[in-house]
Chain A
Amino acid sequence: MPPGGETPPFGPSGENKAMTAPIPLWEFVDVSKAYPGVLANDRVCIKLLAGSIHGLLGENGCGKSTLIKTLSGVQQPDSGQILFNGQPVVISDPQAARQLGIATVFQEFSIVPTLSVGENIFLGNMPRSRFGVIDWKKVHADSAAVLAELEVDIPTEAITGSLSVGEQQLVEIAKAVAMDARMIILDEPTAALGEDEIERLHGLLRKMRDRGVAILYVSHRLDEVERIVDEVTILRNGRVVRASGETKINVSEIVSAMVGEDIAEHYPKERNATQEVVFEARGLATNAGVTDVSFTLHRGEVLGLGGVLGSGRTEIARALFGTDDLTAGEVRLNGRKVKFRAETDAIRAGLALVPENRKFDGLFFNFRASGNITAASLGGLARFGVLDLKAEEKGTRDLIRDLEISSQAEEKTVNFLSGGNQQKIVIARWLFSDAQVLILDEPTQGIDIGAKIAVYKLINKLTRAGKSIILISSDHDELLAMSDRIAIVQHGAIKRTVNAAELSHDDLVRASADPIDHNHRHPEEALA
């Protein structure tokens, strides 16, 4: 719903007579917000201009989420002013934010998966007929008009949960357009998207920007930030360390501003591969879409699986792990043929899977770091069923220090930790166990650059300990840099396997970006 008519018009033209610079649509002046023990936003100033895509960057815990929550009315600042078209306003609650034309697309979508696209677009604001009954014709006609305007080709009757994650994201944005939003906040919008879906999203954002909408864009994927944003603000420890205009939109400059130091080696790759074959797959196929998968994995090696979203990499992981039954082929571990009827068989044999979605499939939020790290090794810690808690405390404390996991992890349950710390804990679980072969599915998704480097070092540590890794990643640079060899996956089959050193970024993109069929998949189906 647009706000009242007395507010000044918006637009990049700058109609104010006194100033040459346009009045920002939204401006934060010295906004501070403290949580018990943490000053999450410390006198933050930021100007969000109509018709501009503004990148908001920083490591996990730098205060980005706090800023977003303040702007979307979820919480109130402790001090400072929020200006709307130059006038101080109070955004008392999310409802008020919506009335002021602010739409927020959070990381966890706010769409209802069981409802149709049209219903989602007008959720909470359904057009009604004279008798107070929902006007379904209008719902579908109007939502179709919005989608057409955005050049998004999704039927309005489709059940939203059956769409791909990327399409769901587009529905979220259509929802913002339908409510006439003039300020759209996107929190990690591309975390779950493939390359072509990211392109589509970016195209849409540019279109919105050209219509005079202000966009606040939060992302950890710096390469795409470089492509899309017009200006950038960087936060560190709750403070603005670079305001827009102070930093060129250039990855290495952004990284050093975020981390506060120059990062010499982005990818600290160690080569620990030996000639000894540990694991071998021959002609694997499953009913979940794996058609022909053969590869060998050596001791200490990192084998990357390259391919686009939906190419079948996660399905291959499920096949290897015994989640899906094999319809053909065989798996050999240390030269012996093995058959996994369920995940427990695979784990007992020495395999481990670090799932893509650590929140849903990886962590025990009711445990501290120690309980999370030892969860896969309880048998080894127990004598006659009784756990050796002293050994557990000692072993995990050393690991927590060694991996530079926050010391809070020793006392608090893991829900209090940042995403990076959480991810380190999930991987550390397998460092603690006897696992020989680890499958890491998107191990650095949604974590900041410092934590990413820590995960890379952890991968080195694992391979140095003689463990072998199958790495799945949508970040091509990461995959190229951290793998010894790369298997190109298309349509659930491994087309070929090449040395990572012989492959360039472009080669990988071209090799994997074979046109895929757009069968609609549920987002990240949980293993289990």
Chain B
Amino acid sequence: MRRVFDTQLIGPFAAMVIVALIVALTTDRFLNPGNLSNLSLQVSIVALIAIGSTIVIFAAGIDLSSGSMVALLTMILAQMLKFMDLPLALAIPLILIIGASLGLLLGLITAYGRIPSFITTLAALIAFRGLALTFNNGSPIFSLDPALEPIFYGKLIGIPLPFFYLVFFYGLAAFTMNFTKLGREIYAVGGNPAAAVLTGINVRKVQATTFVIAGFMTAVGAVLMAARLNSGSPNYGQTLELQAIAAAVVGGASLAGGRGNILATLMGAMTIVIVQNGLNLNAAPSSVQNIVLGVIILLAVGIDMWRAEISALMARIFRRTPKAQTASEKKAA
């Protein structure tokens, strides 16, 4: 918790590098600059949404609503731009506020209504998708605003803009989780809510706040999604919530709450996208991609759960006997 770059990052980082190496060995197109640039575009939306999903998970909650919320928000944005003629500079902040407000609503229902977040956000997953269909008779809205696309495809000093969004938001999230009172309280609530109550932490407020963050980050992802295709559609963001949760889990966040590093989620998201990219480049069908994604999630959690057994096995292989301990160590144990 003390260091931003701690040992929790080693595993997810190693996983990402190994996966990248394997993909690079199977196809020479992987390391092509065009592909790498494309990769950062591909990862950006899920990685930004995963910030919110991960912070909710840190507080021992779960957010299943983000994929549907993306669809709903792209439709609202499209409505604003196409039919209400709002300027982009007004529409985007409004979308961010609406996203955060929807998050607040889910957070209030969960924290103060005492409904488990799994249920609250499952209901939202279904309802938001339905709500998205009520706009424009359920049809996608295209060609929103010529100024929208550069938000996603634009470059600064030759680097795609989404790269900077990632740096900014992950930097902010890492700062919040590691250096602020709010971050500490989120970890505390996820670690032991009963103890958090007895130390004077406003547990419900903290829980609700994590959903506000998640709603806001989902809105950021929705703006990028709309910009990417210059359109809004009630079909956008299918299974995006699961990919975001998968990124958190592959990054080592404990679904029980309280443990994990937000930067590891970025690595988790990269790992997943690299695998998908590698399968794409090797012309694997999407069915295979889903199967592989499932296996990766199991492996990521499994390696974490079987850590003791794996290190015992390693010890046996390398015939390492336990060190003789000093008296003080023994006392401490």
Binding site for B on A (CB under 8 A): 34-40, 61, 237-238, 343-344, 347-348, 353, 355, 360-368, 370-371, 375-376, 378-379, 381-382, 385-387, 389, 393, 406-408, 417-418, 421, 429, 526-528
Contact = CB atoms under 8 A, between A and B. Distances in A.
B198 A355 contact: yes
Given A61-B331, A385-B180, A343 B192 contact: no
A37 B323 contact: yes
Interface string B300-333: 0000000000000001000000111101111111
The secondary structure that dominates the A interface is mixed
Interface string B226-263: 00000000000000000000000000000000110000
Interface string B118-150: 000000000000000000000000000000000
A381 B180 CA distance: 10
Interface stretch (B22-30, B183-191, B264-272): B183-191
B198 A364 contact: no
Nearest to B312: A36
Given A61-B333, A385-B181, 13 more contacts: A361-B192, A362-B195, A363-B195, A364-B258, A367-B187, A367-B191, A371-B184, A375-B199, A375-B201, A376-B200, A381-B181, A417-B332, A528-B194
Given A38-B329, A38-B330, A407-B332, A528 B197 contact: yes
Contacts of A360: 192, 194-195
Contact of A408 (B181, B182, B198, B332): B332
B200 to A, nearest CB: 3
Given A38-B329, A237-B331, A361-B195, A389 B2 contact: yes
B115 to A, nearest CB: 17
A348 B199 CA distance: 10
Contact of A406 (B187, B323, B331): B331
A387 B329 contact: no
Contacts of A527: 194, 197-198
A61 B330 contact: yes
A385 B178 CA distance: 12
B192 A365 contact: yes
Contacts of A429: 199
Contacts of A389: 2, 179
Contacts of B181: 378-379, 381-382, 385-387
Contacts of B259: 366
Nearest to B202: A344
B322 A382 contact: no
Contacts of B193: 528
Contacts of A344: 197, 200-202
Contacts of A34: 322
Interface of B: 1-2, 179-182, 184-185, 187-188, 190-202, 258-259, 315, 322-325, 327-333
The secondary structure that dominates the B interface is helix
Contacts of B202: 344
A418 B184 contact: no
Nearest to A37: B325
A237 B332 CA distance: 10
A237 B330 contact: yes
B182 A343 contact: no
B325 A39 contact: yes
A421 B187 CA distance: 22
Contacts of A35: 322, 333
Contacts of B258: 364-366
Contacts of A378: 181, 184-185, 201
A338 to B, nearest CB: 15
Nearest to B260: A366
A406 B325 CA distance: 15
A367 B258 CA distance: 9
Nearest to B192: A364
A421 B328 CA distance: 14
A347 B200 contact: yes
Contacts of A237: 327, 330-331
A199 to B, nearest CB: 32
Nearest to B182: A385
6 contacts: A347-B198, A361-B194, A366-B192, A371-B184, A375-B184, A382-B181
Contact of B332 (A61, A361, A365, A366): A61
A418 B179 contact: no
A39 B325 CA distance: 7
A201 B53 CA distance: 50
A36 B197 contact: no
Instruction: Rank and list the top 5 A-B pairs by shortest CB-CB distance, nearest first.
Output: A347-B200, A366-B258, A406-B332, A366-B191, A376-B199
B184 A37 contact: no
Contacts of A348: 200
Contacts of A376: 199-200
Given A36-B322, A37-B322, A379-B181, A368 B199 contact: no
Contact of A238 (B197, B315, B330): B330
Contacts of B2: 368, 370, 389, 393
A103 B259 CA distance: 36
B187 A366 contact: yes
A363 B333 contact: no
A365 B191 CA distance: 7
B333 A364 contact: no
Contacts of B179: 386-387, 389
A365 B185 CA distance: 14
A26 to B, nearest CB: 26
B180 A353 contact: no
A365 B195 CA distance: 10
A215 to B, nearest CB: 27
Nearest to A364: B191
A506 B274 CA distance: 74
Contacts of B191: 364-367
Nearest to B308: A36
A353 B332 contact: no
Contacts of A379: 181
A528 B195 CA distance: 9
A130 to B, nearest CB: 42
Contacts of A39: 322, 324-325, 330
Nearest to A36: B322
Nearest to B193: A528
Contacts of A38: 322, 325, 329-330, 333
Contacts of A371: 1, 184, 187-188
A387 B198 CA distance: 20
Contacts of B194: 360-361, 526-528
Contacts of B1: 366-368, 371
Contacts of A526: 194
Contacts of B195: 360-364, 375
Contact of A418 (B197, B322, B327, B332): B332
A343 B198 contact: yes
A447 to B, nearest CB: 14
A366 B182 contact: no
A408 to B, nearest CB: 5
Nearest to B315: A36
A390 to B, nearest CB: 11
